[in-house]
Every structure is written in C-alpha cells, then in structure tokens.
C-alpha cells in the first residue's frame, strides 16, 4: 500500500474557486505504470491568484472549528482487494470525520481472489493464518482453502463492516496529481461502463492496487498464432471445456 497525505490545513471553498483547464503536461501518477494520455489531462487548478479579499476570507488565522471538533478528512483509496477492505475498516476506526471513496476497476471486490478463478486456485499458506486477526474464521473446509472460500470470507468481512457503501465499482484510476496551492489530490477516474473520465479530489490519496494485479501474456514469439485456446490463470474463461483442450492438446495455460 502506498499512502500520500496532505499536511496542508484545509481552506474554505477551495474547490469552488477552481476552473477546469487542459494542460499539455503528462500527468505524473503516483500509481506505478499508470499515466494519463495528454487528451485526458484535464486538471483542476486555480486560474486566478487569490486577491487580498479572498486571502482573508479563505485562510483564517484561527481555525473556525471548535477544539473538540474533528477535522473533516476526505480519503480516496484505489483498489478493493484485501488491502482496500482492511484500509476501509481501519480508516473508519481512526478518523472521526471521514469521507472515504474506494475506486475499484472490477465489478466486484476481492482483487486477487475475485480475478483468479482457474480450477484449483488456492492459498499456499494455511487458511487460519491468511485471515484478519480480529475476524478469525474457524470453519475453513481445508488447510489450504480454495479461492472461492477465501472470496466468501472477504465478502462476509466487507458486509459486516459495511465496506461496500464506500466502493465505486467499475471505476479505474488513470492518474493523480497533488495540487500544492490548495493542498489537495486530484484523481482522474475512468467509468468503465461509459468510458467517460471524471475527476475527484481528496486530502489523502492511497493505493492498494496489488503487486500481481496487471496480468499480461508472456512475450513468446508466435504465441498468438497458436491455433488452440490460450488461457491465462488470471483471466480464466470458465466457459471453456478443458476436457476437449487436453484431449486434443490444443490449449496452453499461462501463470506468469
């Protein structure tokens, strides 16, 4: 997990003073491997310098909050795998006035355990140690449980702690930039259903996108000329009849 935190105190009406502008610079994304194409590089930045009047109006020397009133904190988290589910639980415990949004590119939570559905996919550490210390499940059917059972466990956890209410599914993060002048993260997200790009902002930006999440075909010359069925363990086709493939030696399985 990578966390990026705003240390700048929030200002009043900061977002509403911004205007959308298009820049030519590539978006510097803190998410490894993700950049925003120039055409999508629409960022919210202030277009007019603050006037004397605005300065006094927007940055009071003394906080307007009562001493026992928590600072409102908006958090954007990327990914609803195990890391994202746990982050949601722990963030809510730790931050009294929290507004949390988790953007997840898939239509479901679970990450690794949602995506890997190949026959026999299982945990290679004992199930009783691959779970939350505060949500101990003793009903595992096997010592090394299968992906379905692990997915069910995390679904139960997410349900119990109302994690789903924070998740925006089918929303892929494609870039993020820190705006120093107003002390906010601006995060670009693609709606996978419509293809449209929108922007959200937050005080804290955190990623739990998974080390093993972006599967790809191996670079084997002629791979895609193979006449049979190509299957990747991280993008399994459950409709494919494996018995046909193995009988006629026309399938290749990759787990890279």
Ligand X SMILES: Cc1cc2nc3c(=O)[nH]c(=O)nc-3n(C[C@H](O)[C@H](O)[C@H](O)COP(=O)(O)OP(=O)(O)OC[C@H]3O[C@@H](n4cnc5c(N)ncnc54)[C@H](O)[C@@H]3O)c2cc1C
Region binding ligand X by CB under 6 A among candidate stretches 99-107, 176-184, 198-206, 240-248: 99-107
When binding is defined by CB under 6 A, the residue of 210, 230, 236, 254 that contacts ligand X is: 210
Measured CA distances, 39 to 81, 84, 137 (Å): 30, 30, 48
Minimal distance, residue 191 CB to ligand X, in Å:
11
Three-class DSSP category at 244: helix
**124 counts as binding ligand X under rule CB under 6 A:** yes
Instruction: Name which position in 36, 83, 155, 188 contacts ligand X (CB under 6 A).
Output: 83
Question: Among residue numbers 2 through 61, which ones bind ligand X (CB under 6 A)?
Answer: 34
Cβ neighbours of residue 30 closer than 8 Å, sequence gap 6 or more: 2, 4, 176, 205, 207
Which of 7, 94, 125, 249 forms a contact with ligand X (CB under 6 A)? 125
Q: How big is the chain by its Cα radius of gyration, in Å? A: 23
Interface with ligand X, residue 111, by CB under 6 A: yes
Interface with ligand X includes 106 (CB under 6 A)? yes
Q: How many CB atoms lie within 10 A of CB 193?
A: 10
> Would you count residue 163 as binding ligand X (CB under 6 A)?
no
Measure the CA–CA gap between 109 and 82, rounded to whole angstroms.
8
Binding residue (CB under 6 A) for ligand X from 6, 205, 209, 232 = 209
Take residue 18 and report the two structure tokens written for it.
């911004």
The CA–CA distances, whole Å, from 144 to 16, 113, 123, 124, 147 equal 52, 14, 5, 6, 10
Stretch that binds ligand X, among 97-105, 161-169, 179-187, 237-245 (CB under 6 A): 97-105
Interface segment toward ligand X; rule CB under 6 A; list 93-101, 104-112, 177-185, 218-226:
104-112
Residues facing residue 252 across a β-bridge: 230
Residue nearest to ligand X (CB): 210
Of positions 76, 82, 167, 197, contacts ligand X by CB under 6 A: 82
* Rounded-to-integer distance, Cα 215 and Cα 213, Å: 6
Interaction site with ligand X (CB under 6 A)? 34, 78-84, 103-106, 111-112, 116, 121, 123-125, 130, 172-173, 208-210, 212-213
């Amino acid at each position: 997990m990578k966390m990026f935190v705003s240390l700048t105190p929030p200002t009043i009406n900061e977002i509403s003073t911004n205007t959308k502008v298009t820049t030519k610079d590539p978006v510097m994304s803190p998410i490894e491997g993700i950049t925003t194409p120039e055409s999508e590089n629409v960022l919210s930045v202030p277009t007019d310098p603050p006037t004397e009047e605005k300065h006094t109006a927007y940055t009071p020397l003394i906080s307007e909050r009562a001493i026992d009133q928590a600072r409102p904190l908006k958090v954007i988290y990327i990914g609803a795998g195990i890391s994202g589910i746990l982050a949601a639980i722990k963030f809510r415990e730790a931050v009294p006035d929290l507004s949390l949004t988790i953007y997840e590119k898939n239509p479901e939570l679970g990450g690794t355990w949602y995506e890997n559905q190949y026959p026999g996919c299982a945990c290679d550490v004992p199930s009783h140690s691959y779970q939350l210390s505060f949500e101990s499940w003793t009903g595992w059917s096997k010592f090394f449980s299968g992906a379905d059972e692990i997915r069910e466990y995390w679904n139960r956890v997410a349900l119990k702690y109302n994690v789903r209410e924070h998740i925006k599914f089918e929303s892929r993060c494609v870039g993020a930039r820190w705006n120093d002048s107003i002390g906010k993260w601006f995060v670009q997200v693609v709606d996978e259903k419509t293809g449209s790009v929108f922007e959200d902002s937050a005080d804290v930006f955190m990623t739990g996108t998974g080390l093993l999440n972006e599967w790809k075909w191996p670079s084997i010359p002629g791979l895609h000329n193979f006449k049979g069925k190509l299957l990747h363990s991280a993008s399994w086709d459950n409709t494919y009849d494996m018995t046909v493939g193995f009988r006629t030696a026309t399938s290749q399985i990759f787990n890279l």
